[in-house]
Amino acid sequence: MSEAPAWIEGLARGDRAALARAITAVENDTPAAAAVLAAVRGRLGRALVIGITGAPGAGKSTLTAAMIEVLRAGGKSVGVVAVDPSSPITGGAILGDRIRMTRHAGDDGVFVRSLAARGHLGGLSRTAERVIDVMDASGRDAVIVETVGTGQNEVEIAGIADVRVVVVAPGLGDDVQAIKAGILEIADLLVVNKADHPLADRTARQLAIGTELGERAVPVLKTVASSGEGVAALVEAVVELRRTLGCRRLDPAHRRAVLAGAAGDFLAERIAGGGEAIDALATALAEGRIGRRDAAREVLALLAGKGRTQ
């Protein structure tokens, strides 16, 4: 490991420039990344990390801006991580988000960073997690993670947050598919935004019924992000939930999942490389001559060098 750059000590003081450099280091996995991660260790778990996800146009960015307003009024410093896994480069959607947040542009208490989808070692969600870690360690009181879209990647990224808020627009709650989609399953809180819309009450009721059928009760709140109505109550509910849920990134189950992901990626890479024994095993699995678990065990043994050579 190379010597830690001098700017790293500014991170613990919440220095903006140091924060920006540290995020760039972990995002691009530069030589300074190891020093950043070392500086971050032991300083995690203080920030309230809020995940905002939901269908395009539901009002996530407007709601994020409104939540920033409430948090800033309460004297809290805020970090924002905007992620768009669907766009290969930091593009239109995120640019739009940035513009909407210009109200906070001159405010040192607000730090916004967009994450592009391309080229992340260990996946975008792993990078997002590291960026959140850096913001947390730099003393941000709250970190808001906004993801665009509702794919697997987005659900995974939102899953890193301590409190996961799923934003729904009026009308969408009537759609059973929306309730079935994995996105609602990860919600700690459901928000029907655009509550100024006539369908909002009905959607909120439908969602409440939908979640009652599930394994746990999920609170349903209503907001008008564009006017700020209901947003203070939302922030209050999020803070309250964080008290019981704790810091998700420090959770052993989450850490195991990260390890499982790393192991899975490694295995996939090795198996994709093929070879006589691996291809024979793959054929046996495809033809039903061996079960999935047995095949998995065998491939592990093979890669560990203890399996059959043929």
Asked if 53 is part of the footprint of ligand GTP (rule: CB under 6 A), the reply reads no
Min. distance of Cβ 310 from Mg ion in angstroms?
54
User: Which residue's CB is nearer to Mg ion, number 84 or number 162?
Assistant: 84
Contact with Mg ion (CB under 5 A): which of 61, 114, 203, 211?
61
Handedness of CA 40, 248, 167, 55 (dihedral sign): positive
Asked if 166 is part of the footprint of ligand GTP (rule: CB under 6 A), the reply reads no
Partner interacting with residue 133 (select from Mg ion, ligand GTP, none; CB below 5-8 Å by kind): none
Min. distance of Cβ 225 from ligand GTP in angstroms?
4
Q: Of 68-97, which residues contact ligand GTP (CB under 6 A)?
A: 93
Q: Which stretch binds Mg ion (CB under 5 A): 59-67, 71-79, 160-168, 283-291?
A: 59-67
Asked if 200 is part of the footprint of ligand GTP (rule: CB under 6 A), the reply reads no
User: Which residue's CB is nearer to Mg ion, number 61 or number 114?
Assistant: 61
Asked if 49 is part of the footprint of ligand GTP (rule: CB under 6 A), the reply reads no
Q: Of 226-265, which residues contact ligand GTP (CB under 6 A)?
A: 226
Asked if 193 is part of the footprint of ligand GTP (rule: CB under 6 A), the reply reads yes
Task: For residue 276, give every residue at least 6 positions away whose Cβ sits within 8 Å of its Cβ, in sequence order, or none.
Answer: 310
User: Which residue's CB is nearer to ligand GTP, number 61 or number 127?
Assistant: 61
Asked if 196 is part of the footprint of ligand GTP (rule: CB under 6 A), the reply reads yes
Total residues found in the chain within this entry: 310
Q: Which stretch binds ligand GTP (CB under 6 A): 21-29, 192-200, 257-265, 295-303?
A: 192-200
Min. distance of Cβ 87 from ligand GTP in angstroms?
11
Partner interacting with residue 225 (select from ligand GTP, Mg ion, none; CB below 5-8 Å by kind): ligand GTP
Handedness of CA 129, 243, 245, 247 (dihedral sign): positive
Q: Residues 83-102 vs Mg ion: string with x where CB under 5 A?
A: --------------x-----
Partner interacting with residue 59 (select from Mg ion, ligand GTP, none; CB below 5-8 Å by kind): ligand GTP
Q: Of 105-134, which residues contact ligand GTP (CB under 6 A)?
A: none
Q: Residue of minimal CB distance from Mg ion?
A: 61
Handedness of CA 250, 252, 257, 259 (dihedral sign): positive
